[in-house]
Amino acid sequence: MLIEVLGGEDTNNPPREAIPGLRDDPFYRWSAYMGLPLVYLSWVVGAWFIATQPFSWNGYIAITVAAGLNGAGSLNAGHEIGHRRDKVSINVARFLLCLCGMGHFRVEHNMGHHVQVATPEDSATSMMGENFYQFVLHELPGGYVRAWGIEKARLARAGKSAFSLRNEVLLNTLITLTMYSAMIAVFGLIILPYLLIAALLSNLMLSSANYIEHYGLMRGKRDDGRYERVQPHHSWNANHVVSSAAPF
């Protein structure tokens, strides 16, 4: 908090005409992409350490928490990159999200949350008076169910079954299960709690951001029964320099 106060607020926003150039700047794009090999390396090294070094609970817990923190950064980067529509960005986002078992997030966030945000229908919007734990119990499973429904409807329109590798949710779930199975095959069952707890911690950190971002904010309904358009006041925001520069 003190650092935020000392850093002050950033009241400058780039002009609208500068946004395409900033969005496509190779430096920013590749800076985000570089998170992919780094976070995978950190998780694999953590698994190797647990499997090969003298065991201690303190070490196991510390390595697991560190992996969870790195995973939270992975999810945050995957969230941002997942807003892009080119194939490279989609695949980078895919593997950033799949590491922590959140391969459904791009579909759910872009085509579910963005549409239903700040409404009771949005599993990722926290209601007034709802505590964080109550929120997580509907946000995490609700996000997967909504993403599956979105993909099922998309494939149905194309005459395809939901049980197809064209289903991004199914494909990404299989990627996560394959990666975890491969790591267990290499390092042994001792790393299973490490993988599951680190993924859960990563998910909970992302959920904490979602919980705060729209807490208690609801869009009004128009006379035709549809919700009003999403406006800046439907999200809590802090334009502080330090928060803006932080990875998550």
Is 246's pLDDT higher than 70? no
Is 33's pLDDT higher than 90? yes
Percent of the chain whose predicted confidence (pLDDT) is above 90: 76
Going by pLDDT thresholds of 50, 70 and 90, the confidence category of residue 236 is: confident
Mean pLDDT of 227-241: 82
At 139-186, the pLDDT tens digits run 999 999 999 999 999 999 999 999 999 999 999 999 999 999 999 999
Going by pLDDT thresholds of 50, 70 and 90, the confidence category of residue 2 is: confident
Q: Please give the span between the terminal C-alpha atoms of the chain, in angstroms, as a whole number.
A: 15
Mean pLDDT of 52-57: 94
DSSP 167-216: -HHHHHHHHHHHHHHHHHHHH-GGGHHHHHHHHHHHHHHHHHHHHHHTTT
Entry pTM: 0.89
At 16-29, the pLDDT tens digits run 787 777 777 888 88
| Averaged confidence pLDDT in the chain | 91
* Measured distance CA(175)–CA(137) in Å, rounded: 24
At 82-130, the pLDDT tens digits run 999 899 999 999 999 999 999 999 999 999 999 999 999 999 999 999 9
pLDDT at residue 247, as a whole number: 47
- Minimum mean pLDDT range among 72-76, 144-148, 193-197, 239-243: 239-243
CA 7 → CA 183, 207, 238, 242, 246, distances in Å? Answer: 42, 26, 12, 6, 12
